[in-house]
Chain A
Amino acid sequence: MNKIIEKEFFSENVAKFVLEAPEIAKSRKAGHFVIVRLDEKGERIPLTISDGDSEKGTITLVVQRVGVTSARLLDMNAGDEILDVVGPLGHATHIENYGTVLCAGGGVGVAPMLPIIKALKAAGNKVISVLAGRTRELIILEDEVAAHSDEVIIMTDDGSYGKKGLVTAGMEEVIQREKVDKAVVIGPAIMMKFGSLTTKKYNIPTEVSLNTIMVDGTGMCGACRVSIGGKTKFVCVDGPEFDAFLVDWDEMMMRMGAYRTEEHQAFENYLQTVEIAK
């Protein structure tokens, strides 16, 4: 059982949770994630640890409502308990002083990006962050990112905040202007695909953090498998971060749609039960 200590909405569909998880708080590093199961009948879903406090024994998760489990989590409140939280999983991000690093985060992808930005900055890099979202509400953690970046560029699809345009436009702007030694792109699969096509044009080594479907998160099931440079890899134990240029994006996106019908049905059912409860 892990108690929710604090909950804060960033927007209608994105919230931050601070959870009690003393051991994980102590051993986690930037890039790690946890697997969460809300209750006895719940599924196991992966969520990145976006911050942690080893003194207080807490970890921070930022969650976007996309389906049943995330919606149910967003309906939970401080004081509630989550049945299972296991981690930290995956490899921690490799951090070194590259020089200038471009960090592009889309939507809730900014949450997993935050600890990486902090670590890169602490390692002496010049960090330029590009935060992108469809609309103003979807830009999250701007202040936290700004506190650890040399520059922040905001992009919205509809121009409701920052500059109007896609994340790739913001990335191009920086790359055209100055020498970038390394890029990290985290967000929805489609955004990572196009983000990394952009950096590839300029031959900038790029890391992405893949968010495949997972079950156990310990390498036991293979649900999370992707093709990296033609070889099958398990995102939970071999990743979640990979060299963006080696990822078979189309296969990954196809695999992420495996349960689309089932998930959609489950979400509809859940919304109905919530309606009835009201």
Chain B
Amino acid sequence: MENIAEYILEGRKEEWRADLRKSMKAKERTSLERVMMPEQEPDVRNKNSIEVNLGITEEMAVAEAHRCLDCAQPTCTTGCPVGINIPAFIKKIETGDFLGAASVIKQTNALPAVCGRVCPQEKQCELNCFYTQKLNKPAIAIGHLERFTADYERNSGKMSIPKTAEPNKRKVAVVGSGPAGLAAAGDLAKFGYDVSVFEALHEIGGVLKYGIPEFRLPNEIVDVEIENMRKMGVKFRTDFIVGKTASFEDLRADGYEAFFVGSGAGLPRFMNIPGENYNGIFSSNEYLTRVNLMKAAHDDYDTPVLMGKNVAVIGGGNTAMDSVRTAKRLGADRAMIIYRRSMEEMPARVEEVHHAQDEGIEFMNLHNPVEYFADEKGRVNRMRVQKMELGEPDASGRRRPVPMEGEGSQFDIDVDLVIVAVGVSPNPIVPSSLKDLKMTDWGTIVVNKETMQSSIEDVFAGGDIVRGGATVILAMGDGRQAAAGIHKYMTEKVAVS
């Protein structure tokens, strides 16, 4: 981390930066109001699948950039898992050099248009901003600015394709095309490797495609990034399950010298309560996959999805928010979140919770389902919920929800669609096809934290398959770190032989 701190401060000494700092008094800067992201009207957007956030204008971006103090100790950067030089890119925006800002971000973040949209900024960069920490004022809108910069570059038609080293004709395989795999593939291509990304589904992008809905992250944005990677020479193979279609052994025989496994945490968890297998009860993965990947709500696509008027979504994470807002958009009269803790403990991004509230989503916090009931055809029609209260903090430091007792602590709600979004487990296909791979008790792959190397020499891993469910930016950070680890391994391998 030391050299990162150095690199961030070094930029700060440049003359233009120093002049820019002097061009406006700190007091003036801090008296400016934080920019507001223009949004579609709640009553309009909850009926369409167009992106909720419309993006800030150039003027708004420059105005917001003026707020940033270009701190001597830019604490914001410590909150960014990939160490973006935040003040450097913001100051470029202040001068109107938007493409310059984009190139600063792209030094450390391969998918800025994605992260600007989906990072939980309020827990990362923006949490650590001087404004939040010391001034008790709204943080610099780092996420909005990052998104603006990336969108500006994409729309400018001058998107830069990262330079790649001379091809070294050595083959590396990337397993899974989520953010971890894409980030690893991008860096490996830059190092000059012949990279193939293998993806089990028919689309590239992992959760970015099948999970996160278009109203939050349009597919087109992900596709542009993938197209750029193709231009860098990365090959993509869809409909290919490593460990099934071909084994690691087969791929080694085919000349692949190293592997990056970014296979994600794809296995949905259920609660194992009575009636959970009735029709009309989905995992969030199934619901979102049908709608996002298979386009089930479009008449001209074949895949069906059950529609509901009274929809209950169980859970309080991003997945739950995405599911409940999707259900609302598909015509639910009542779309409810049922979450066993309180609003404060909700793991979802704050912006998504606010958006959901504005869109008319009901929040039944401190409630937990205990049983489902169905009509004679087996379609769910009622659920029983248990009221909860918060007890002592548990190991994670959050107060543990405990069932309330007595009269009225359980009651029934009419529902015709239930979406269970209580978490996922690591996808077991890769681990079960590599016998010697060291795993944790939770089914995640054990890696060296520096190099991301697993217990098998030529297998590296990162993202949700290592962390068991995290964020896009952490997955990407892992992918990049692993690419560096693979590069080191490949270089040393040649030196030895």
A binding-site residues for B, Cβ under 8 Å:
23-24, 26-27, 37, 41-44, 68-69, 83-89, 215-216, 218-223, 225-227, 232, 237, 251, 254-255, 257-259, 262-263, 266
Verify A219–B266 contact, CB threshold 8 A: yes
Residue in A221, A255, A262 whose CB lies within 8 Å of B286: A221
Residue in B200, B277, B295 whose CB lies within 8 Å of A255: B277
B4 at the interface (CB under 8 A from A): no
Interface of A is mostly: mixed
CA distance A84 to B245 in the complex (A): 13
16 A-B pairs within 8 Å (CB atoms) are namely: A26-B250, A27-B250, A41-B302, A43-B301, A44-B294, A86-B202, A216-B200, A219-B427, A221-B285, A225-B270, A227-B277, A232-B270, A232-B277, A255-B277, A259-B304, A263-B304
Verify A86–B200 contact, CB threshold 8 A: yes
Verify A220–B267 contact, CB threshold 8 A: yes
B31 at the interface (CB under 8 A from A): no
CB-nearest residue of chain A to B264: A220
CA distance A153 to B240 in the complex (A): 40
B135 at the interface (CB under 8 A from A): no
Verify B270–A215 contact, CB threshold 8 A: no
Verify B378–A254 contact, CB threshold 8 A: yes
Verify A88–B245 contact, CB threshold 8 A: yes
Known: A232-B277, A237-B428, A237-B429. A255 touches B289 (CB 8 A): no
CB distance from A256 to the nearest CB of B (A): 10
CB-nearest residue of chain B to A254: B378
B59 at the interface (CB under 8 A from A): no
CB-nearest residue of chain B to A252: B277
Q: Mark B213-236, 1 if CB is under 8 A from A, else 0.
A: 000000000000000000000000
Verify A259–B306 contact, CB threshold 8 A: yes
CA distance A262 to B429 in the complex (A): 32
B238 at the interface (CB under 8 A from A): yes
Interface residues of B in 289-337 (CB under 8 A from A): 289-290, 294-295, 300-304, 306
Verify B286–A222 contact, CB threshold 8 A: yes
Verify B428–A219 contact, CB threshold 8 A: yes
Verify A221–B289 contact, CB threshold 8 A: yes
Verify B302–A43 contact, CB threshold 8 A: yes
CB distance from A255 to the nearest CB of B (A): 6
CA distance A44 to B293 in the complex (A): 11
Chain A residues with Cβ below 8 Å from B395 are none
Chain A residues with Cβ below 8 Å from B239 are 84-86
Verify B283–A221 contact, CB threshold 8 A: yes
Chain A residues with Cβ below 8 Å from B304 are 43, 259, 262-263, 266
Verify A257–B427 contact, CB threshold 8 A: no
Interface of B is mostly: loop
CB-nearest residue of chain A to B304: A262
Verify A215–B294 contact, CB threshold 8 A: yes
Interface residues of B in 252-307 (CB under 8 A from A): 266-268, 270, 272, 276-280, 282-283, 285-286, 289-290, 294-295, 300-304, 306
CB distance from A235 to the nearest CB of B (A): 12
Verify B378–A257 contact, CB threshold 8 A: yes
Verify B277–A251 contact, CB threshold 8 A: yes
- Of A69, A218, A255, chain B has the most CB atoms within 10 Å of the CB of A218
Verify A218–B302 contact, CB threshold 8 A: no
- Of A83, A88, A225, chain B has the most CB atoms within 10 Å of the CB of A225
B244 at the interface (CB under 8 A from A): yes
CA distance A37 to B238 in the complex (A): 12
CA distance A23 to B238 in the complex (A): 13
B241 at the interface (CB under 8 A from A): yes
CB distance from A251 to the nearest CB of B (A): 6
CB distance from A179 to the nearest CB of B (A): 36
Chain A residues with Cβ below 8 Å from B301 are 41, 43
CB distance from A115 to the nearest CB of B (A): 17
B binding-site residues for A, Cβ under 8 Å:
200-202, 210, 238-241, 244-247, 250, 266-268, 270, 272, 276-280, 282-283, 285-286, 289-290, 294-295, 300-304, 306, 377-379, 427-429
Residue in A215, A232, A258, A266 whose CB lies within 8 Å of B276: A232
Known: A216-B201, A232-B272, A262-B304. A88 touches B244 (CB 8 A): yes
Known: A216-B289, A266-B304. A255 touches B294 (CB 8 A): no
Verify A27–B279 contact, CB threshold 8 A: no
Chain B residues with Cβ below 8 Å from A37 are 202
Chain B residues with Cβ below 8 Å from A43 are 294, 301-304
Verify B427–A87 contact, CB threshold 8 A: no
Verify A221–B268 contact, CB threshold 8 A: yes
CB distance from A100 to the nearest CB of B (A): 32
CA distance A218 to B245 in the complex (A): 12
Chain A residues with Cβ below 8 Å from B246 are 23, 26-27
CA distance A26 to B249 in the complex (A): 13
CB-nearest residue of chain A to B379: A258
Verify A222–B240 contact, CB threshold 8 A: no
CA distance A232 to B281 in the complex (A): 14
Known: A68-B302, A222-B268. A27 touches B277 (CB 8 A): no
CB-nearest residue of chain A to B432: A237
CB-nearest residue of chain B to A238: B428
CB-nearest residue of chain A to B294: A43
Chain B residues with Cβ below 8 Å from A225 are 270, 277
CB-nearest residue of chain A to B276: A232
CB-nearest residue of chain B to A226: B277
CA distance A216 to B285 in the complex (A): 10
- Of B239, B283, B428, chain A has the most CB atoms within 10 Å of the CB of B239
Known: A27-B245, A222-B283. A84 touches B427 (CB 8 A): no
CA distance A222 to B427 in the complex (A): 13
Verify B277–A266 contact, CB threshold 8 A: no
CB-nearest residue of chain A to B267: A219
Verify B306–A222 contact, CB threshold 8 A: no
- Told that A43-B303, A215-B290, A219-B428 touch, could you supply 9 new A-B pairs with CB distance under 8 A? A27-B246, A69-B302, A84-B239, A219-B427, A220-B427, A221-B286, A258-B280, A259-B306, A263-B304
Closest 7 CB pairs of A and B: A254-B378, A221-B286, A262-B304, A86-B239, A222-B283, A220-B266, A43-B303
Chain B residues with Cβ below 8 Å from A69 are 302
CA distance A22 to B243 in the complex (A): 15
Verify B276–A86 contact, CB threshold 8 A: no
Residue in A87, A216, A222 whose CB lies within 8 Å of B245: A87
CB-nearest residue of chain B to A221: B286
Verify B302–A258 contact, CB threshold 8 A: no
CA distance A263 to B302 in the complex (A): 9
